[in-house]
Amino acid sequence: MTLPRFLAAGDAALVVEYGEVIDPVLIAAVQRLDRRLAAAHVPGVIETVPSFRSLMVHYDPLATSQAQVIAAIQGLEADDPTAASEPGRAWRLPVCYEAGFAPDLADVAAATGLAPEAVTAAHAGNGFTVAVVGFLPGCPFLAALPDNFNLPRRTAPRTRVPAGSVAVAQKLSVIYPTESPGGWHLIGNCPVPLFDARWDRPALLAPADRIRFQPIDAEEHGRILAAARAGDYDPRRDCVDGAAT
């Protein structure tokens, strides 16, 4: 990985760009710099906003300058530019891929050249990295699927996507934490709550977390959903992937 580019974003922000693709290596680099900046308490830096491949750094132009912020970042990167990022947490999330939860599975199969069962096997067998969390509270964008999953969004977005829907587009996967409009291809449903304002960390998942999906049937999906609604299922305990290394 090459050293980052520095791009001005007005007179009070700077973009630190690590690359032009969505890749777990770049995600790790962005998260590493984000943590280092937070720990360093660089004078004048107000806020950082991580993305798939870059970090936006907001600063107070009355307290510092763009050149000073760049110099501080270069010093942090020079400390050890190849150091591994702090590992994210590992999760195993249950997903039902049965027909009632996967209205777009046949279309995804046709677009990828796979049989429907091969689509779900590829998705469940893939190790994902949380790239960013956004769009909806707790909504994770997961990288990355194989090249044949580089699918455009639906030409006709849905006005109502059910909560828990697992979807794919552009080599990414996503889980809708609440009902909302959406234009991704729905191939399953995860009954696990991803956001709860009562938790110490309201969003279950965070950037750099590692995700694997566990296929379940409709009966198990219903059991988990009912238990979660009753407060008897806590994903912070029940979805930790103890087998991950």
Structural domain count of the chain: 2
Task: Report strand pairing: 210-216 vs 90-96.
Answer: parallel
pLDDT of the residue at 3: 77
Structural domain for 101, as ranges: 90-238
pLDDT of the residue at 22: 83
H helix intervals, 17-104 = 24-40, 66-79
Whether 140 and 174 have beta carbons less than 8 Å apart is answered as yes
Element (H, E) at 236: helix 235-238
Same domain, yes or no: 128 and 209: yes
Same domain, yes or no: 61 and 94: no
The last residue of one of the domains, among 19, 52, 79, is 79
Same domain, yes or no: 193 and 99: yes
List, in sequence order, every residue forming a beta bridge with 216; answer none if it has no partner.
96
Same domain, yes or no: 133 and 37: no
pTM, to two decimals: 0.84
Average pLDDT of the chain is 93
- Is residue 85 included in any domain, yes or no? no
pLDDT of the residue at 245: 43
- Is residue 243 included in any domain, yes or no? no
CATH of the domain at 23: 3.30.1360.40
Same domain, yes or no: 68 and 128: no
Beta carbons within 10 angstroms of residue 41's beta carbon: 7
Same domain, yes or no: 145 and 125: yes
* The one-letter amino acid at 12: A
Burial (CB count <10 Å: 0-12, 13-18, 19+), residue 231: exposed
Long-range contacts of 231-236 (CB under 8 A, 24+ apart): 233/192, 235/91, 235/93, 235/192, 235/193, 235/194, 235/204, 236/199, 236/204
How is residue 154 annotated by DSSP?
P
Same domain, yes or no: 56 and 96: no
Angle of CA points 242, 212, 122, to nearest 5°: 145
pLDDT of the residue at 25: 85
Q: Identify the sign of the CA torsion 95, 147, 126, 25.
A: negative
- Is residue 187 included in any domain, yes or no? yes
Same domain, yes or no: 99 and 138: yes
Same domain, yes or no: 146 and 27: no
Name the token pair of 239.
Answer: 């979805």
Tens digit of each residue's pLDDT (9 = 90 or more) over 193-209:
999 999 999 999 998 89
Can you tell me the distance from the alpha carbon of 97 to that of 102, in angstroms, rounded to the nearest whole number? 6
- Is residue 146 included in any domain, yes or no? yes
Q: Three-class SS of residue 150? A: coil
pLDDT of the residue at 80: 58
Residue 125 backbone zone (phi > 0: left; psi -120 to 50: alpha; other: beta): alpha
Can you tell me the distance from the alpha carbon of 133 to that of 199, in angstroms, rounded to the nearest whole number? 16
Residues 6+ apart with CB under 8 A from 235: 91, 93, 192, 193, 194, 204, 228
What Rg, from alpha-carbon coordinates, does the chain have? 20
- Is residue 51 included in any domain, yes or no? yes
Ranges in the chain, pLDDT < 70: 1-2, 79-87, 243-245
What is the DSSP track for 81-127? TTPPPPP--EEEEEEE-SGGG-TTHHHHHHHHT--HHHHHHHHHH--
- Is residue 151 included in any domain, yes or no? yes
Same domain, yes or no: 125 and 11: no
The last residue of one of the domains, among 16, 47, 79, is 79
- Is residue 179 included in any domain, yes or no? yes
The last residue of one of the domains, among 57, 79, 101, is 79
